[in-house]
Structure 1
Amino acid sequence: MVAPELVRAAQSGDREALLTLLREIETHVYRTAFYMLGNEQDAMDASQEALLRIYTKIQSYEEKALFKTWVQRIVTNICIDKFRKAKPTVSIDEHEMTFIAPANVEDEILAGDLSQAVREAIDRLPEHHRSVVVLRYLHDFSYNEIAESLQLPLNTVKSYLFRARQQLQTLLRDYEKGGVRG
C-alpha cells in the first residue's frame, strides 16, 4: 500500500511526504467509509475526518503495526462512531461492487440483481459484522490484519466473519430460490 520510507519521512516533518502519503491512502479510506456507512455524503465526511486525524496523529504511528491497519483502524472507528450516533439507514451504492462479469444483456441484469441483493444483505448486517466483511472482502485483509485494525482478538474476528457469512447466506436465501427478495 504505502512505502515505509514515505511514512517515516512524513513522521519526520516532511510536509510533501505527508501530502503524498494522504493522497495515496485517500481512496482506501473513502472505500472503507463508503462500505461502512453506505452513502456518499457520510463517506466523504468520515474520510475527511479520518484523513485529518491521520494528518494530525502521524507522529503517534508506531511501526509495530502495519501502516494500512493503523489507517483502517482510524477510519473504521470513525465510521462506527458515526453509525452509533446517527443510526442511519444504510444503502451501499453500486459503483464499487461487481460480483459477476456478464457475457450478455440477460447476464448483466442478473449480475445487477445479485450485486443489489448482496449490497442489501451487507447493509442489514450488524455494524461489527459489516466492518469485518468490508475489511476481509473489500480490502483483502488477513484475519490478523483485521484483528489489529479493529483491536479485536483473532478468535473474535473469525467468529464475526463466520456469523456474518451465516447471516448473509440466510439473507440471500430468497434470492437463490429465484431472485425474489423479501
Structure 2
Amino acid sequence: MVEQGLIRAAQSGDRDALITLLREIEQQVYRTAYYILNNEQDAHDAAQEALIRVYTKIDSYEEKAQFKTWVQRIVTNICIDKFRRSKPTVSIDEHEMVFQGKENVERQVMSTYLAQDIQEAINQLPDHHRSVVVLRYVQDLSYSEIADCLDLPLNTVKSYLFRARQQLQNLLQDYQKGGVSG
C-alpha cells in the first residue's frame, strides 16, 4: 500500500518521493500489463508508458479514488489502446517446477496443461471481459475499483465478470477431453 504522505510529497515536486513512488508501483504495473498483453516486450512498453504517465500526471491525482485504482486505470487504458492496435493474449505465469517423485511429476504436468488451457480460454474472451478478469483475479481489485479503473458502471463490471466466468466455464468443460476447443 502506497503511503499518502509519499503521494503528497511527489505532488509537491519532491523528485525523490516521486521516484520512490514509481519504484513501489512498477512491479504491479508491469504485472497488469503482462497479464493483459501476454507479451513481455509489449508489457514492458506499456508499463514504461504507464509509469511515465504517472510521473507526468501525478499532480492531477485526486484522493477521490485510491491511488492503486488510479494507476491501474492508467495501465489498463494503455493496454486497451494496444488491444485496438493488435490482438493480444493473456498469459498465466508458469512457475518453475521442482520434480520430486512420479506423483509430483504427474501433478505438475497436469497443472501445466491446466494453466495452458486456462490461458487459451482467457485468450478467447472478448477484450472487455479479459480486462475485468485480469483486474479481478490477477490484481485482486474489488468490483468498484474495477469500475473506477475502466470507467464503467458497477453493474456493467458485474455483468462482464459474470459473462466472462460463464464463457470460461464453457471453454474449460473441454479440459477433461484434453484441451480447450477453439
Normalising to structure 1: TM-score of the pair? 0.91
Distance, in Å, in 2 between the alignment partners of 1:85 and 1:34 is: 16
Distance, in Å, in 2 between the alignment partners of 1:91 and 1:66 is: 26
- Deviations 1:84-133 (Å, cap 9, x if unpaired)? 01234x2526347xxxxxx7111001111111111111111111101110
Please report how far the alpha carbon of residue 179 of structure 1 lies from its aligned counterpart in structure 2 after TM superposition.
2.7
Letter of the structure 2 residue corresponding to residue 181 of structure 1:
V
Contact 2:132 2:160 in 1 (8 A): yes
Confirm whether residue 160 of structure 1 aligns to residue 160 of structure 2. Answer: yes
Contact 1:11 1:58 in 2 (8 A): yes
- Deviations 1:4-50 (Å, cap 9, x if unpaired)? 11111110111000000000100110011011111101000100100
Distance, in Å, in 2 between the alignment partners of 1:20 and 1:155 is: 36
What residue in structure 1 maps to residue 135 of structure 2? 135
- Deviations 1:127-146 (Å, cap 9, x if unpaired)? 11011101110111111111
- For residues 39-118 of structure 1, the aligned pairs below 5 Å read 39-88=39-88, 90=89, 92=91, 94-95=93-94, 104-118=104-118
What residue in structure 1 maps to residue 149 of structure 2? 149
Contact 1:36 1:130 in 2 (8 A): yes
Contact 1:38 1:123 in 2 (8 A): no
Other structure's SS at 1:64 match = coil
Letter of the structure 1 residue corresponding to residue 79 of structure 2:
C
Letter of the structure 1 residue corresponding to residue 66 of structure 2:
L
Check 1:112–1:147 CA distance in 2 against 1; reply closer, same or farther (3 A cut): same
Contact 1:143 1:157 in 2 (8 A): yes
Normalising to structure 2: TM-score of the pair? 0.91
Identical-pair percentage: 68
- Give every structure 1 segment of 4 or more consecutive aligned residues whose post-TM-superposition deviation is greater than 3 Å: 93-96
Distance, in Å, in 1 between the alignment partners of 2:64 and 2:93 is: 36
Other structure's SS at 2:54 match = helix
Point out where structure 1 has 5 or more consecutive residues left out of the alignment: 97-102
Point out where structure 2 has 5 or more consecutive residues left out of the alignment: 96-102
Work out the number of aligned pairs and report it. Answer: 174
Distance, in Å, in 2 between the alignment partners of 1:181 and 1:18 is: 45
